[in-house]
Amino acid sequence: MSLTYGSLVEGLRDRIPPLTAVPLPRSVDDKLLAKRWPSGPFAEPPPGSGLKAVPGDFGPRFVGHSLEYMRYGLDFALRRYERYGPVSWSGMFGQRMVSLVGPDASQLVLTNRDKVFSQQGWHFFIDNFFHRGLMLLDFDEHRMHRRIMQQAFTRDRLEGYSGPMVAELRAGIDAWPTHQRFRMYRALKQLTLDVATRVFMDMPPHDSEHINRAFIDTVRAGTAVVRYPVPGGRWSAGLRGRKVLEQHFGENLPAKRASDGADLFSALCHATTPEGEQFTDEDVVNHMIFLMMAAHDTSTITSTAAVYHLGKHPEWQERVRQESLALGDAPPDLAALDSLESLDLVIKESLRLVAPVPTFPRKAVADTEVLGHYIPGGSFVNVSPMLNHFLPEYWTEPMRFDPERFGESRREDKSHRFAWLPFGGGVHKCIGMQFGMMEVKALLHEMLCRYRWRLADDYTARWDYVALPVPVDGLPIELRPLSQR
């Protein structure tokens, strides 16, 4: 294992994401990553159980390994895996948390057949900011809310969303500057928020910067080291952002209840199961805040990663462009987007290399075991898609951009049902994954039909893991119209 994962870590040396604009010297980074803290068992197994104790260490007092994870992301996670294996514990945000790595552990937790693992793991991070969003609900209550919400994500609904989505994408992409460098991540985040505002609410993005700031603050607050409303702190900013979003959706809810629109907000207001179950006003506001965040944040990250890799690999950019140009100028419907097979491979590989949600936290509600290790009730645990996507047992040359690994002749994602987890798994698998794939594919299609872009051979994106992964420098890029090479 040490040689295999040592080579993987070595391959990440240029991917280490600094938390500040000025990186630390490489020697300092190496020392921080190599430092070993006193280790010990997470909890002693019950006598006679035959179970092993979970190994690990807390790290620095109070904060644990929080700052190392946020700074080094995948590099830090791979080194922990190399040292401790697929089940280990560490200090994170003042808590002791168990990390579960690999498809086998992921399958056990995410399928959750014994209902031992609760979404309360998410509560620790984001309940104050995304209270009672679908992802935070458990068991029968989650099942009921999901059944209602599925009415907003049927194939017919997606077809209805595609028209306004493409119109908003075309308007936004056409307005981007050319022949000058600009920060692609920021432009994509604004665009996906505009799309969510139009498609989810059927409203013009008139106040999108104000709302965008509120979403950013709520997302980043979840990994605040100081988890109290200290003036000027991220936790406090997140609480203010939540109030802004509650007011925004609350003010618009009565009109949506009274209308019969085709947007998602209206769909949630009127969605009803065959048994007559419906959402309350409070339910609708909570779900809209969560869905708007999930839709535009994850779509932004995936689009950014795909733009980056297409810029680094012009041969793939030309390949997917030819497929897009073959569709003609008409706005693509779902069938047309489904036909873009090469683009589908690129998006899947981008999701592997940059998992939009790097970890799925859970909380054990009773004593249990994972891969022969004892985990007492009340423990926080984390499943790690980010790390699963780089395990060489399941992926050929995992550090390399290789979309063909998802092609029918290889299908490395089928090496294990839980090897590829960008959308989660089990009953909490992302309900909006079809919508998200449709949006990312439509966005990249429109870009490819208008522009070319290329990144310098020596440029490597560095990802900031303070909250969800984002490029530290915003991915500066220059677009050139197709008519100009």
**Beta bridge mates, 118:** 363
How confident is the model over 293-305, as pLDDT tens digits?
Answer: 888 889 999 999 9
Q: What is the dihedral of CA 11, 15, 19, 23, to 10 degrees?
A: 80
Closest of 60, 43, 61 to residue 52, by C-alpha: 43
Element containing residue 403 per DSSP (H, E): none
460: containing domain: 139-481
How confident is the model over 189-219, as pLDDT tens digits?
Answer: 989 989 988 898 888 765 567 787 888 899 8
| Residue 400 per-residue DSSP state | S
- pTM of this prediction? 0.91
In a domain, 275, yes or no: yes
Residue type, 184: M
| Phi, psi (degrees; rounded to nearest 5) at 478 | -120, 125
* Alpha carbons 444 and 299: distance in angstroms, whole number: 11
In a domain, 377, yes or no: yes
Closest of 477, 475, 437 to residue 454, by C-alpha: 477
Q: Which two tokens stand for residue 306?
A: 């795909």
In a domain, 114, yes or no: no
In a domain, 5, yes or no: no
* Alpha carbons 262 and 269: distance in angstroms, whole number: 11
Q: What angle do CA 443, 445, 449 make, to 5 degrees?
A: 120
- When divided into structural domains, the chain yields a total of 1
How confident is the model over 444-475, as pLDDT tens digits?
Answer: 999 999 999 989 889 999 998 877 899 999 99
**Spacing of C-alpha 142 from chain mean position:** 20
Q: Which two tokens stand for residue 80?
A: 């922990």
**Beta bridge mates, 381:** 98, 362
Sign (positive/negative) of CA torsion 465, 466, 472, 475? Answer: positive
In a domain, 196, yes or no: yes
Q: What's the farthest any 2 CA atoms get from each other in the chain?
A: 73
**Beta bridge mates, 370:** 373
pLDDT in tens, the chain (485 residues): 444 555 554 444 444 444 433 455 555 667 777 788 999 999 999 999 999 999 999 999 888 998 888 888 898 999 999 999 999 999 998 899 999 999 999 999 999 999 999 999 999 999 999 999 999 999 999 999 999 999 889 999 999 999 999 999 999 999 999 999 999 999 999 899 899 888 988 887 655 677 878 888 998 888 887 888 999 899 999 999 999 999 999 999 999 999 888 899 999 999 988 899 999 999 999 999 999 888 888 999 999 999 999 999 999 999 999 999 999 999 999 999 999 999 999 999 999 999 999 999 999 999 999 999 999 999 999 999 999 999 999 999 999 999 999 999 999 999 999 999 999 999 999 999 999 999 999 999 999 999 999 898 899 999 988 778 999 999 999 999 997 65
CATH number at residue 460: 1.10.630.10
DSSP-derived 3-state class of residue 331: coil
Cβ pair 124, 95 in contact under 8 A:
yes
In a domain, 3, yes or no: no
C-beta contacts of 317-321 below 8 A and 24+ residues apart: 317/448, 317/452, 317/453, 317/454, 320/346, 320/444, 320/448, 321/448, 321/449, 321/452
Cβ pair 58, 64 in contact under 8 A:
yes
Cβ pair 417, 103 in contact under 8 A:
yes
DSSP-derived 3-state class of residue 451: strand
pLDDT given for residue 417 in this prediction = 95
In a domain, 90, yes or no: no
How confident is the model over 304-338, as pLDDT tens digits?
Answer: 999 999 999 999 999 999 999 999 999 999 999 99
In a domain, 2, yes or no: no
Neighbours of 417 (CB within 10 A): 13
| Phi, psi (degrees; rounded to nearest 5) at 40 | -175, 175
The dihedral region occupied by 222, where left means phi > 0, alpha psi between -120 and 50, and beta the remainder, is alpha
* Alpha carbons 383 and 381: distance in angstroms, whole number: 7
